[in-house]
Amino acid sequence: MTVRLRAHHLLCMLTYVGRGYSPAFTANFDRIVSRLNAGESLLVVEGPDDICRPLLNEQPQPHCLEARVKKRDARAATALSRWLDLSVETGRLLHPDRKLITRMRSAFAEGKTRQACLGCEWQSLCTRIADNAYTESRLGDAEDPPRPSSVPARVR
């Protein structure tokens, strides 16, 4: 199995602590993170992805379909490709092992890939998670299993 993610969600997965837009959204995100932690690969897709799916079912006009979110994907893909020497394009298969996640997290913490976050309501939370060395994040990898989060779900 492969997890399908749009480009800017390659950043969001780094800071995921169990918070999100709805119970279904966080439950689904938890399952995706568990799959990644178990070693599944990532496929870069265009538009709504596996993380978006609950919102597509819950909301008549989910933000996942908006042009500004597609621009966020483009900015994320450009920054990740530049700073990680990684071609992040639609159809690209990635293997998010410890080395790649560490590189992505370093670039994010240094602000190199944060152009994609402009205008996002979660910015302060994601900055705090990065500033705290991602210790609260639920994303680990197959060699470094997820840490239990002390942050209750759905509390922002």
Radius of gyration of the chain (CA): 14
- What's 51's DSSP letter? T
Phi and psi at residue 93, in whole multiples of 5°?
A: -100, 125
- Total number of residues that touch ligand SF4 (CB under 6 A): 10
- Nearest distance from C-beta of residue 83 to ligand SF4, angstroms: 15
- Nearest distance from C-beta of residue 98 to ligand SF4, angstroms: 19
- Note whether 7 binds ligand SF4 by CB under 6 A: no
Phi and psi at residue 125, in whole multiples of 5°?
A: -65, -50
- Nearest distance from C-beta of residue 8 to ligand SF4, angstroms: 5
- Note whether 15 binds ligand SF4 by CB under 6 A: yes
Nearest in space to 116 (alpha carbons), one of 83, 144, 143, 149: 83
Residue pointed to by tokens 């309501």: 121
Contact residue for ligand SF4 among 90, 102, 123, 132 (CB under 6 A): 123
The whole-angstrom separation of Cα 35 and Cα 43 is 13
Q: Which is nearer to ligand SF4, 8 or 138 (CB)?
A: 8
- Note whether 126 binds ligand SF4 by CB under 6 A: yes
Name the site residues for ligand SF4 (rule: CB under 6 A).
8, 11-12, 15, 116-117, 120, 122-123, 126
